Structure 1
């Protein structure tokens, strides 16, 4: 699979398979924010992305098991992304009416899913090259331009990945990813998430995310 196709499925987090949902619970390693809270607050828009890219580079050059590599990058994923903001926008207005327990379960499952997809995509031997290019202001948004390239890229051309950033109490965090400068992660996954949510509720969506994540992590 080409690097660009990997990125479309991974960073865009599209095509969530509903399938048969198992009864697996939320992954306990991502149920709390203790690991991320110990990470320094990002004072520049580029900082959390640079840290995430370093972790992904280390992971893809590691001989550790998939579960250990997952634990390796999880704090950096959690620190880089405003997970709750992305999840809320992906689900829509129904999110505000969920109980605290439902929100916590969904958030933990979404974190597990996100980490698992990164680990599954950037596995040892991928040899991806991560580059943070620059930061711009566009249409009132702060956007960090990056590229991710690999040995199987056609003509050696890396794939542009742009991150929409927002600054809050925890510093700068990613609120959306734009593939090829315009394909929004949030917009792409909204239909999938809302379909599962409408059919199976918050618990069903959490189980679907967890099941898919566990599939990614099977070696």
Structure 2
């Protein structure tokens, strides 16, 4: 049998050798998470009419699943009552809340008229969470403040609340009505209402 040339032997040795550990991948900063999300949101706005509301929802779903912790947001929006809900119903509520949250963004950002996003700052709260301040810049109109609260989940920064107009916590504003729905008919009542709202938003 003919001897193999040296180069293939070296290549074979390299392939069979134990692989060295890869360097740890740098985690995205809170601002980078939001800027990546806003870049996708802007692209969706530019293609809003072609995509339609369901197309926008489909584009947003994987992006929001990565940038937002929708499970934590469900727990926060429900509050102390969460611990009294059976696990199977908790999972159903997480799915319903997630679908509703994604549909809400798909419905709100339904066109493009020269808008752009700008990150205006980031600060660390006493809890260790980070608040990323952004603006939606609109031609000939006042900017809209959209601030995002991010929390570190095992080295990954993810959104746990959105502050509309800069200061109004979206989850806090839902707490009272969610409490009322739970009182009226438990988790099933809240899930049904979230499903109803999602369907309405996705009608286009």
Tell whether the structures are fold-level matches, with TM greater than 0.5: yes
SS in 2 for 1:181: coil
Map of 2:194 onto structure 1:
209
Residue by residue over 1:183-213, the C-alpha shift from the partner in whole angstroms, topping out at 9 and shown as x without a partner, is: 2112111111111111121111111111101
SS in 1 for 2:132: strand
Map of 2:44 onto structure 1:
59
Map of 2:111 onto structure 1:
124
Would you say 1:75 and 2:62 are equivalent positions? Answer: yes
Map of 1:44 onto structure 2:
29
Map of 1:137 onto structure 2:
124
Highest CA radius of gyration, 1 or 2? Answer: 2
SS in 2 for 1:176: strand
> Which protein has the bigger helix share?
2
Q: How does 1:96-107 map to 2 (within 5 A)?
A: 96-107=83-94
Residue by residue over 1:155-182, the C-alpha shift from the partner in whole angstroms, topping out at 9 and shown as x without a partner, is: xx21122111110126101122223432
- Take 1:194 and 1:126, find their aligned partners in 2: how far apart are those partners? 38
SS in 2 for 1:167: strand
Map of 2:101 onto structure 1:
114
How many residue pairs get aligned? The number is 177
Map of 2:71 onto structure 1:
84
Map of 2:143 onto structure 1:
158
SS in 1 for 2:51: coil
Contact 1:122–1:128 (8 Å) recurs in 2: no
Give unpaired runs (5+ residues) of structure 2: 1-24
Q: 1:98 to 1:206 in 2, by over 3 A?
A: same
Q: How does 1:172-191 map to 2 (within 5 A)?
A: 172-191=157-176
Q: 1:107 to 1:170 in 2, by over 3 A?
A: farther
Q: Detail structure 1 runs of 4+ shifted over 3 Å in the superposition.
A: 125-128, 138-141
**Residue 152 of structure 1, CA deviation:** 6.1
- Take 1:201 and 1:189, find their aligned partners in 2: how far apart are those partners? 16
Q: Which has the higher contact order (CA 8 A, sep 6+)?
A: 1
Q: 1:76 to 1:143 in 2, by over 3 A?
A: same
Give unpaired runs (5+ residues) of structure 1: 1-39
